[in-house]
Structure 1
Amino acid sequence: MTNARDVEPFWSLCTKLESIHMAATTIATCDSKLANLLFPNTQSLELRLLGCDGNLDQFDLIRLFPRLEELKCYSSFRDRSLGKFAQVIAQDSWPSLEKLSLGYGATDENVSPILEGVQRITSLDLSDCHFGPRSFQALQRHFSTLVELSFRECSGVQGEVFQKIMCLSPRLEILKCNKIPANDVVNGEQWVCLSLKTLQVCFRFGRGDQYLQHLVFERLATLVHLECLDIGNYSFYQENPILEPLDLRLRSGLGTLSSLTNIKFLSFYGTEQALETNEALWMLENWKNLQTVSGELNRNGTVKNTLVGILQACEVRVRE
């Protein structure tokens, strides 16, 4: 804001809002009157690319919202600010907070005390953070309440973490993850998150691991409520050439997924697939609710065009 006279009435009006979203802006020195306000009606707060001038920081802003149920921070937290947030959250300052998103480089040391301090977490997004052993230890006590969990572009999430989440989070409905070695999935206990509706994970197969394809398909077949299956590779970095994705062909085990009758969205963007007519026909026959297929079906242009025609004729959108 450039006119200081407008600041106080503006923020006073905002105290009546239930949801506030601040993006690509700076809380300037003239906004220091914020420190004298409370936002008792605000249940959802999102801070995206937010800067703070003067003595204010993000923690000073967040503490003005005592009834938060959802907090999204996609801005660079100062370490001091994160430390204060972790300390105060442990004092039950936000008793209703259960949906939390942290981004932009928060470290394992930053994240773990926050996860320890929150009383209950149903939704957690740690995209672009570093998730280490301390964070994982702190997260485990929330496994029984987690409904949504996102680790997109989150370093430190290994196959062991993914497997434990799948085996110990019975209420989970949405899980978004990075690339996971296939052998870490098939060698563990059975999954219990059978209410899962959205799964985003790129299974990696090394050279000689193709026998694991059927075993991964068998695991996926237990997720009978799944509506969105995304096995795409969204990494910006060159993938190791010996690592291969899940092969969506019948000969590799696709037929095992006939139990997933609720599938609406299938994505394999960024992977190399070689689907044929029989795979497209199988999907249409077994997945009656299929709406969208995303990714390159086949590198052969003629085959790809045929498959696109088959799917589109049945009103299935194809996105490459």
Structure 2
Amino acid sequence: MSGINEGFRIIAQAPLLRSWQWFLGDKPFPYQALEYTLPRLKPFRFFRDLSINMVELTDAHIEELLDRMTDARDLNLSWTNFGIKSFQVLIIRHSATLRSLHLMCYQIQSKQIQILLTTCKGLEDFGANVLLGTELVIFGAPTKEESETNEVDLTSSDYNYDMSMGTSHRVLGLGEGTLLGGDWVCLGLKKLALNFSLGGRYMLLNSKSPDSSVRLEKQRDLEQEHTFRQLSRLTHLEKLQMINVIEEAPFLHGVNLKLKARGGRLEDLATLTRLDTINFAGTKQWLEEEEVTWMWEHWPRLMFILGTFNQDPAVNRRVAAAYQDRQHTKWSTDLNLNK
């Protein structure tokens, strides 16, 4: 459907509307028609599915559409101006009914992603931008006793922090506590697409602390541990994508999830027995044949491993060749079994 005016005219005249896909065509954008039509929209009892790919719609416009929906089920708002207003309506009105949600947007914040993962129990398909490891665990946060003498109480549930924008009151090395983020509740997830940015990149070092580098290393280890722990609980997962989808975003920095067997935590993911696709394209991995063999042996439904296996070109060619041989063998075996 092209043309904002025509689109809203149809929406306004369709009280039984259930699903809407909206992509801007070649027609000019009539702002006046949009501002006139939006306030005239009434709630739709059956309007549950919405897919928009239009940067012309503002956060307020998306908020209006979400507010008119009833028990939203499938939402694709990627590449839109989805912002704080839309997010608030999404959480308040639709968090209990969401089944599929895609938010590949510049504006989506890491903290908002964590809130969605810890709120929307029914999610089966979720894709968003960058999740920082500091949402899952903070090492060196003040303990409850220490925080009483600090201006910012990091242990408070009311503590609000915009992770994705990199503005912080946190200073690594102020305390001895460990602050854990909430566990993900969407344990029925089948598809997950996130870029994990780990390594404490958004925690400020306290230059006066002699052990700040030790604390930062501890933070890095904890971020890897708790990210793998959350993923290991998603036992229904079929497709895991951890790639940089918005390359120009200023906050795509940090250490990626390390899929290493030795010295890593790959074995934590042995619970993902339904996984058929893992995609780490764009991340910096150092995988050997050992890791690829482990994946084939522990994920019986595995069909595709996508991405660069190793940053060393020679090693990557060797591992890729071993993967292709194993994949061909598996496909041939599966084909014979299905005859």
Call closer, same or farther: CA 1:85–1:155 in 2, change over 3 Å: farther
2:48 equivalent to 1:98: yes
Q: Which moved more, 1:186-195 or 1:79-88?
A: 79-88
Question: What are structure 1's unaligned runs of at least 5 residues?
Answer: 1-46
Q: Equivalent of 2:100, from 139, 145, 148?
A: 148
Deviations 1:189-233 (A, max 9, x none): 111100000000001124545211111001110100000000011
Give the secondary-structure state (helix, strand or coil) at the position aligned to 1:72. Answer: strand
Between the aligned partners of 2:252 and 2:73, the Cα distance in structure 1 is 38
* Range 136-145 or range 235-244, more displaced: 235-244
Question: Is residue 2:185 matched to residue 1:192?
Answer: yes
Whether the 8 Å CA contact 1:157–1:178 is kept in 2: the answer is yes
Aligned mates of 1:266, 1:71 — CA distance in 2:
30
Structure 2: gaps of 5 or more residues: 138-179, 202-215, 330-339
Partner residue in 1 for 2:294: 282
1:253 positional shift: 1.2
**Distance in 1 separating the partners of 2:12 and 2:60:** 21
Tell me which amino acid in the other structure corresponds to 2:236. H
Asked if the contact 2:241/2:279 (under 8 Å) is kept, the reply is yes
Query: Which structure 2 residues correspond to residues 16-165 of structure 1 after superposition, within 5 A?
Result: 47=1, 50-51=2-3, 57-75=6-24, 78-84=30-36, 86-89=38-41, 91-92=42-43, 94-105=44-55, 106-140=57-91, 141-152=93-104, 154-165=105-116
Amino acid at match of 1:149: L
Q: Percent identity?
A: 29
Q: CA deviation at 1:114?
A: 1.6
Distance (whole Å) between structure 2 residues aligned to residue 99 and residue 229 of structure 1: 23
CA shift in 2, pair 1:238/1:135, >3 Å: closer
User: Within 1, Cα distance between the matches of 2:249 and 2:69?
Assistant: 37
Q: Which amino acid aligns with 2:273?
A: T
User: Cα deviations across residues 45-100 of structure 1 (Å, max 9, x unaligned)?
Assistant: xx2xx248xxx5322244454433210112176444444554344x23x4321100
Letter in 2 for 1:57: E
Judged with a 3 Å threshold, the aligned counterparts in structure 2 of structure 1 residues 81 and 254 are, in CA distance, closer, same or farther, namely farther
Q: Which residue in 1 is equivalent to 2:264?
A: 252
Distance 1:113 1:249 in 2: 45
Query: Normalising by the residue count of structure 2, what TM-score does the alignment of the two structures yield?
Result: 0.71
**2:278–2:305 Cα contact (<8 Å) kept:** yes
The letter for the 2-side match of 1:74 is F
Instruction: Tell me what 1:203 maps to.
Output: 196
User: In structure 2, do the counterparts of structure 1 residues 225 and 111 end up closer, same or farther at CA, with 3 Å as the change threshold?
Assistant: same
After TM superposition, the score normalised by the length of structure 1 is 0.75
Secondary structure of the corresponding residue to residue 229 of structure 1: strand
Secondary structure of residue in 1 paired with 2:290? helix
State whether residues 79 and 110 of structure 1, in contact with CA within 8 Å, keep that contact through their aligned partners in structure 2. no
Q: Number of aligned residue pairs: give it.
A: 263
- Structure with more relative contact order (C-alpha pairs < 8 Å, separation 6 or more): 2
CA RMSD of aligned residues (A): 2.3
